[in-house]
């Protein structure tokens, strides 16, 4: 019985951690990055309808592609490596990749 309780607790903690990471990723996308990603990009999961950059819903970038673009910039998109922590960059990349993959 204790093993079952421990497994249940571990599952709940993992779920809570995922929710926190998703919340952080959404916050980075919508407000923490300056300018915010949502200003330029469309991403339904974030309620973003920007038209300056590509629609991420259509582009469907994977996590690695988002992380690289956020770190180094691409085209007119600025680099955010000096502004965001590695945790924030990973969280926003996870958020976008999950949102566009339908997971």
Average pLDDT, the chain: 86
Classified by CATH at the fold level, domain 19-101 comes out as Cytochrome Bc1 Complex; Chain D, domain 2 (1.10.760)
Domain locations in the chain?
19-101
pLDDT value at residue 20: 83
Global pTM exceeds 0.75: yes
16-59 tens-digit pLDDT? 455 587 899 999 999 999 999 999 999 999 999 999 999 999 99
49-101 tens-digit pLDDT? 999 999 999 999 999 999 999 999 999 999 999 999 999 999 999 999 999 99
| Residue 91, burial from CB neighbour count under 10 angstroms (0-12, 13-18, 19+) | buried
Residue in the block written with tokens 């996590």: 63
pLDDT value at residue 45: 94
């Amino acid at each position: 019985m204790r093993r079952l309780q421990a497994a249940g607790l571990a599952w709940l903690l993992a779920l809570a951690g995922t929710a926190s990471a998703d919340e952080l990723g959404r916050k980075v996308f919508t407000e923490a990055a300056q300018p915010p990603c949502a200003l330029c990009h469309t991403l339904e999961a974030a309620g973003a309808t920007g038209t300056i950059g590509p629609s991420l819903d259509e582009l469907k970038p994977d996590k690695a592609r988002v992380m690289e673009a956020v770190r180094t910039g691409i085209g007119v998109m600025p680099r955010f490596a000096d502004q965001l922590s590695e945790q924030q960059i990973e969280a926003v990349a996870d958020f976008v990749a999950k949102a566009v993959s339908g997971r």
